[in-house]
Structure 1
Amino acid sequence: MVLAITTSCLSNAGLITDHDGYVTDSVTGWQWLDARFTDNMSYNDVLASTTSGSLIGWEIASTSEVLGLLLHQNNNVLIPTTGTGRTWDTSIFSFKALVMMLGDGSYYGDNANHGYLNGMTTEISSYSNRAGAPRTVQIGWWSDKVAQGFLRDDSWGPGSHSTTNIRTNTWLVKKAEVPEPSTLAIFALGMIGLASRRFKKQS
């Protein structure tokens, strides 16, 4: 798979940047994997690949983590959510750029007027006809809608999509590493030592 290496801002605040196969949220420092890498894989397939396969280092994101990414791409404007269908709202900016960069899989649609991306998360769906299935978050854009963007939270894939063996895309994230307390303590002691030496020289 060859993906072009580009860097571009998705929002006016420049919170999301595009790289080779992933995007970075500068607010959290987290990386989000292109959906092409999980295209047509079941939740179980993806989970196995994150522990002993080609996706080691990545983890399946929670619904709240995905919504956080979308919030930052939406210039930190609160995005309304729903479980009964697409949420259209004038506060939702177009998700076109994010959709184009994060997915071109079997559950991605694109033409001159619209596009969408669906992905599974760590939670289990609350819908009775999807008992045992992962909760999904779907985003999209529609050029002839007032808001031009939509968000659909946990309302995709009824009926046969009722187990963790459904095949769609998955939201995968690689979280920024936080320094261990011991590392921070050593750094702090070093700074204190340098400051004390400077103080002694001055006195």
Structure 2
Amino acid sequence: MNIKMLKAAVAGLVLSVSGFANAGLIYDNGVGVNNADTGYYTSNVRSFQIYDDFTLASDSTITDVFFQMGLTSGNFDGSFSFTIFNFLAGSGVGAQLYTQTLNSGDYSASLNSISSHPSGPFYDINFDIPSLDLSAGNYELSFYGLGMDFRIPNVSSGNGFYQNSSFISGDTPFALFDNSVQVPEPSTLAIFALGIMGLASRRFKK
């Protein structure tokens, strides 16, 4: 195996590992940042609801959801709804396709370090959903506090979302995953890497 072939093998390994690491990610809308202007509400406490868009480049199955959210006060231990809609030009929100109400115990929530005005805690939240099949296309989703006073942290380069029917600059930090995708264990990747190195070593000795 010459140097060019070895480089190609190593590059292939790097690309394979990178692909495995991101195998379950369907859509990433970014993460929240410190922002003095953050403070849009999405809860029944305020009677405001945020709808944010996302686009699927191909048919996808969603099994897991991550998002970041602030509270005006208190702990993240209440209920909220997660809903997906068709995208409708003009108002952004079309027909409801899926909705789920999550209660304490249905999700995990941990404090993060996001800081904004007005002050209050921000959280990373993860939850599972039954496998949801969506075709390629444009959609809207909503995280809506039910008794918890949700407040959106902005991402660094948001293109906007709808609060009720008004378009507002910003974006909701969230990501969608298909964790039914089988990702090799680290030990499997290590064995794969050692095998390539062993083959390269044998060819160099010859």
Fold in common (TM above 0.5): no
Name the one with the larger helix percent: 1
**Which one has a larger percent strand, Structure 1 or Structure 2?**
2
Question: Structure 2 length normalisation: TM-score?
Answer: 0.30
Q: Larger relative CO (CA 8 A, sep 6+): 1 or 2? A: 2
Q: Give the TM-score of the pair, scaled to structure 1.
A: 0.30
